[in-house]
Amino acid sequence: MKKIFVTGIGTDVGKTLVAAILTEALQADYWKPVQAGNLEFTDTDRVKELVSNAQSCFYPEAYRFHMPASPHLAAAAENIEINPDKFILPEATNHLVIEGAGGLLVPLTAEFLIIDLIAQLQAEVILVSQNYLGSINHTLLSILCLQQRQIPIKGIIFNGPPTPSSEDYITQYTRVPKLGALLPETEINLAMVQHYAAQWRPNL
């Protein structure tokens, strides 16, 4: 059973769409431990809408908050204290794709970050990097953080218009493999997810 934690070099870099493609590619189960904001249509709802295989199960979040903010702030706004001990892996025998919130150093509590959650769950990381000015720095920082904590990194998914020079530099410097690329798409639907799932599957 593979436990893959999908995290990003920042917020809004495409984690949810990547998580949907990975879930489809592996016919895996999906779990988002914390949802902050958009409770009327959550990331779990979005992934469920984009996954077409009959094997995947979708597990409820450990915490759901109304405010679209860092989880520690969203929790405080509702007078809730996040307890890291409540982040218990679903009882699954299937592969599991876990989607984080924001980047690695997003706080869940005053002293417990997303990277601490990854270590606690003993998951392997797939890092989503988006191609923009400054993304080399943000990607290298994320990888160095994971390596310092000795958290295994399965690879990188690059999202956005291709920038071969940046992608080559990142993979050569870090020796972390590129697992796939997600190009700008005019329409996000089941067929698109299936297309990328077939492309990425051999590398997973």
Q: What is the pLDDT of residues 69-124, one digit of tens each?
A: 999 999 999 999 999 999 999 998 999 999 999 999 999 999 999 999 999 999 99
- DSSP lists the bridge partners of residue 129 as 158
176 annotated among ligand-binding-site residues:
no
Question: Considering the entire predicted model, what is its pTM?
Answer: 0.97
Distance, in Å, from the CA atom of 115 to the CA atom of 113, rounded to the nearest integer, reads: 5
Contacts of 54 (CB under 8 A, 6+ apart): none
Distance, in Å, from the CA atom of 168 to the CA atom of 20, rounded to the nearest integer, reads: 25
101 annotated among ligand-binding-site residues:
yes
Active site residue 154: no
134 annotated among ligand-binding-site residues:
no
100 annotated among ligand-binding-site residues:
yes
Contacts of 69 (CB under 8 A, 6+ apart): 36, 37, 77
pLDDT in tens, 148-202: 999 999 999 999 999 999 999 999 999 999 999 999 999 999 999 999 999 999 9
Q: Which residue in 3, 32, 86, 178 is the catalytic one? A: 32
Domains of the chain and CATH, by start: 3-203 (3.40.50.300)
pLDDT in tens, 27-50: 999 999 999 999 999 999 999 999
111 annotated among ligand-binding-site residues:
no
